[in-house]
Structure 1
Amino acid sequence: MKGLHLTADLYRCRCAAEWLTDATQLGEWCVEAVEAVGLQVVGRLFHAFPATERGPGGVTATVLLAESHVCLHTWPEERAVTCDVYVCNFSGDHSAKARGLMFALVNRFQPEWTEQRSLDRGEEA
């Protein structure tokens, strides 16, 4: 189960507002970004939350991969996003693809600053 798990918390995103509120637009772009780095989509779920007194509802976008998953959650009232990219390296080392995907995700939202983490998962065989 050797793999790489990347996370990023994005703050004060300067992207257009619809990237934080439009589940269809964000989800379709996520699928394109996954395919662009050479990972394989096997499922997807994109959900928009209703607006509240604090502002427009956010989005959860999940793309299931043959290699594992990508998940995004947006908070439009805070202009914030969390990103989660996990790849298992069972059939080969997908670490570079995961890093390329995370780079694309961060660039999409244009945050003023990020907190990123990387976790090697599992043990060497």
Structure 2
Amino acid sequence: MEGLHLVADLRGCDPAQALMLRPETLRALCVQAVAEAGLGAVAELFHRFTPTPGSEQSGITGVVLLAESHLAVHTWPELGAVTLDVYVCNLGQDNSSKAQALMDRLVAAFAPASAARQALRRGLA
């Protein structure tokens, strides 16, 4: 079950960009980025939350289940923030470079002013 878990906290994202507000736009990016990275999408779900009173903006939570594990994206347009979570198992082959390519593609798409990234090796005894 050895794998790589990548997370990124993005700040200073344009809150008006479609990726922050439109589930279908975010879904299209995520599914395309997964395929470009050479990972296998098996299912996905993207949900836009109801705006809070007094606000026109609301965020999206999206998940792509991968044959190798998962991708999760959470947007907060009211904060100009995004969190990304990419986890891949390395059973049978090392998928670490694919996970990194997926994360790089998503970070670039949101064009944040700053990005704090972390990587965790999982399943090591």
1:67 equivalenced with 2:73 (yes/no): no
Aligned-partner SS, 2:14: coil
Structure 2, unpaired ranges of 5+: none
1:31 matched to which residue of 2? 31
CA deviations 1:6-57 (Å, max 9, x no partner) are: 0000001137521101011101110000000100001100101111134411
* Cα pair 2:15 2:77 within 8 Å, conserved: no
2:98 matched to which residue of 1? 97
Q: 1:78, 1:39 → 2: CA distance?
A: 30
1:57 matched to which residue of 2? 58
TM-score, scaled relative to structure 1: 0.94
Q: State the percentage of identical aligned residues.
A: 48
Aligned-partner SS, 1:14: coil
Q: Which amino acid aligns with 1:121?
A: R
1:6 matched to which residue of 2? 6
Q: 1:84, 1:107 → 2: CA distance?
A: 15
Cα root mean square deviation, aligned: 1.3
Q: 2:76, 2:3 → 1: CA distance?
A: 28
Q: How many residues align?
A: 124
CA deviations 1:59-105 (Å, max 9, x no partner) are: 01100000000000000001100000000001200000000000001
